[in-house]
Amino acid sequence: MKKLYIFLLFFSFVSVQLFSQTPGQFLKLKPKSQINSLTSSPVNPWAVSIQSSYALNQNTTTSFADNFLASGNALLEMFIPKNPRTNVYIMGNFTKLGLIDNAQDVPLKLRELSESNQGINISLAPYYVLGNPDKFNVVVYAYLGYRLNAFKAYNDTSNTIYLNQGFITPAFEFSSPKLQISEMPITVSIAGTYKIFSESDYETAFNEKKSNLTNIEGSLILPIGKSIGFLFNVLYSKEIVPSYRAGFILTSSK
């Protein structure tokens, strides 16, 4: 419960920081809360936002920082589309390469490796919008790119392993009409990710042999006020128990 209070106080601080900045300035903020995950589509109206979330089913022996999520995305539109329903973005996700304190906590390290907005990555993000943007619509999209995570070696905590990965993420997203209370829609995103990496580097970090990882991740964003929403995220992989996160998301988008 004490950790929850700390989280809420931190979120309140970040909220003040967001609304005192212009959109361009806020992307340069340094506090540990940041932007939406790669689960959501590149045209999700919540894409330019600050996100603060905490693991609900965390291991009670891990630190608060290990269960608190921080990341930041950047989007670059590659083309001026003749068809407004489709385009390709370049997306980058930037966050501190934090090292988990307990190098032998394999489940926690696997969770970090599986979560879409952990680590540093860059990817191509093509999409296609189905339906009427003013009503219910579906976005079909994918991410194809490179990602980097850092871990302490399993048997030598003085050694840091930088795990290079290639990944592909096919996904789809449902979006409701904008709600009157917030002028923002409800969005539900579901994505599956397949990533490949060096078997030897993985073995050094995790003390087991593996060269690929597959997971499914979903997120729900429910508007609860002007430019603010409730975020719920679930991650499933056969290598770990399902992971659940909840928090708040703020945006300056209209």
Most confident of 44-58, 106-120, 121-135, 195-209: 195-209
Task: Locate the domains of the chain by residue range.
Answer: 2-251
Position 126 confidence tier, pLDDT thresholds 50, 70, 90: very high
Tokens of 215: 């997971």
Nearest to 117 by CA among 178, 53, 171: 53
Q: How far apart are CA 208 and CA 110, in angstroms?
A: 12
The mean pLDDT of 224-250, rounded to a whole number, is 85
Q: What is the mean pLDDT of the chain?
A: 75
Confidence band of 112 (pLDDT split at 50, 70, 90): confident
* Residue 200: per-residue pLDDT: 96
The pLDDT of 6-10, averaged and rounded, is 42
pLDDT at res. 248: 80
pLDDT higher for 59 or 190?
190
Identify the band that residue 22 occupies on the pLDDT scale cut at 50, 70 and 90: very low
